[in-house]
């Protein structure tokens, strides 16, 4: 691949990574410990990621269990969960916190799938915008006589193949997430 293409491939990969990150925050009715990745708790006066102060496990399909390394953190962790946008109510027995995920209704599943498709469409638009920027850059180089017409055509073909590859990846990711949400 042409070295001029690498920067555009990196940008397209970032669009795909961003989509995957957004998808990991969508609750599909199953317990997914990655939903807690963005949560932080006060620990000795400093905000710390939840994973660094507690053991997180999924003992059942719809339950996340959080076992703090220090019992004094239970209130802090519960506060962080309640203040987050997870929409879950923590319960504790003095040693561990349990998050129970309610079963999703059919209507809620359909709404989530619409959201998944919208996010995928936004990612595709981002990839296509990167393609446009790449082609504009190549045309400028051609006008400045830094690229021959043949080189321009070759680079445009490469950027199109790259775009097709990433749009395909986005489609696969979207279909997998939609299937996960619709699977009861």
Q: CA triplet 40, 14, 129: central angle to 5 degrees?
A: 130
The domain at 33-100 falls in which architecture? 2-Layer Sandwich (3.30)
3-state DSSP of 84-136: CCCCCCEEECCCCEEEECCCCCHHHHHHHHHHHHHHHHHHHHHHHHHHHHHHH
Per DSSP, the three-state class of 11 is: helix
Model pTM score = 0.70
**Fold match, 3-25+105-182 / 33-100:** no
Classify residue 61 by its DSSP letter: T
Decide: 26 and 181 in contact? Cβ < 8 Å.
yes
The tens-digit pLDDT sequence of the chain (184 residues) is 567 789 999 999 999 999 988 887 776 666 777 778 788 888 888 888 888 888 888 888 788 898 988 888 888 888 888 887 777 788 888 888 898 887 778 888 888 899 999 999 999 999 999 999 999 999 999 999 998 999 999 999 999 999 999 999 999 999 999 988 887 6
Choose which CATH entry (3.40.50.150, 1.10.40.50, 1.10.3210.10, 1.10.132.20) describes domain 3-25+105-182.
Answer: 1.10.132.20
Domain residue ranges in the chain: 3-25+105-182, 33-100
């Amino acid at each position: 691949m042409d070295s001029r293409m690498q920067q555009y491939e990196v940008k397209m990969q970032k669009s795909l990574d961003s989509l995957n990150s957004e998808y990991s925050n969508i609750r599909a009715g199953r317990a997914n410990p990655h939903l807690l990745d963005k949560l932080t708790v006060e620990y000795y006066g400093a905000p710390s990621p939840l994973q660094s102060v507690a053991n997180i496990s999924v003992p059942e399909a719809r339950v996340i269990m959080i076992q703090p390394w220090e019992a004094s953190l239970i209130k802090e962790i519960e506060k962080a969960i309640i203040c987050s946008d997870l929409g879950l109510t923590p319960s504790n027995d003095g040693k561990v916190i349990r998050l129970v995920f309610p079963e999703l209704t059919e209507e809620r599943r359909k709404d989530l799938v619409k959201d998944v498709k919208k996010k995928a469409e936004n990612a595709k638009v981002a990839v296509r915008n990167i393609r446009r920027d790449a082609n504009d850059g190549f045309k400028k180089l051609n006008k400045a006589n830094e690229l021959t017409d043949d080189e321009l055509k070759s680079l445009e073909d490469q950027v199109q193949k790259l775009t097709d590859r990433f749009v395909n990846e986005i489609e696969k990711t979207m279909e997998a997430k939609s299937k996960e949400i619709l699977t009861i």
